[in-house]
Amino acid sequence: MRIRSYSAIKAKESGIKIGWVGKIILLRSPVYLHTELQFSEQFRNVSVSATMQDKCKCVRFKNISYSTPVWDTIDLDISHRDEQDIFHWCLDKAGLWKYDLLGLLSHASEKDIIKPHKKSVWCSEFVAMAIQTKRDYGIIPDKTTPTSFHEKVLNVHLDK
């Protein structure tokens, strides 16, 4: 399994424009705009995340080529059994939750004016919840951003 993080810095260097939602995320997540969880070949390398892309209302499974240089990757050491459990956890959540666009506004300020919704999620929150069903990274999912999530998981793996 892999964590895939979309780098705003690399996107800008490549001439890719950042939309208004991305600009809101960048207020508190200065490096990464989006987080995906990519499964191994046992699940045909499909990726999952919470998103509004592709007219999705939250949990999306998609094969992504990651061919552009805007993605940073962290390989996770997860057993096949744990990966199966995580995959089924993600499947169970598809259709149950909505994308938390309002909760994203909690990133617009460092003050806790807007609270994330308990039954809605954004990308890094969803991926953190999914992997923490099997590995404790010490992340509070509804307080994480794509940048803080990527850095926390990377630091745990570098410490091993």
pLDDT at 107 over 80: no
pLDDT at 160 over 70: no
Q: Are 33 and 22 in contact (CB under 8 A)?
A: yes
Strands (E), 31-145: 32-38, 47-50, 59-62, 71-75, 98-99, 120-121
**Spatial distance between the Cα atoms of 38 and 45, rounded to a whole number of angstroms:** 6
**Spatial distance between the Cα atoms of 99 and 113, rounded to a whole number of angstroms:** 19
2-159 is a CATH 3.90.1720 domain? yes
**Spatial distance between the Cα atoms of 17 and 138, rounded to a whole number of angstroms:** 33
Domain boundaries, the chain: 2-159
pLDDT at 2 over 60: yes
Considering only CA atoms, which of 73, 58, 56 is closest in space to residue 6? Answer: 73
Per-residue pLDDT tens digits for 3-56: 999 999 999 999 999 998 888 888 889 999 999 999 999 999 999 999 888 888
pLDDT at 17: 95
Question: Who contacts 132 (Cβ-Cβ below 8 Å, separation ≥6)?
Answer: 139, 141
Does residue 128 or residue 27 have the better pLDDT? 128
Q: Are 39 and 110 in contact (CB under 8 A)?
A: no
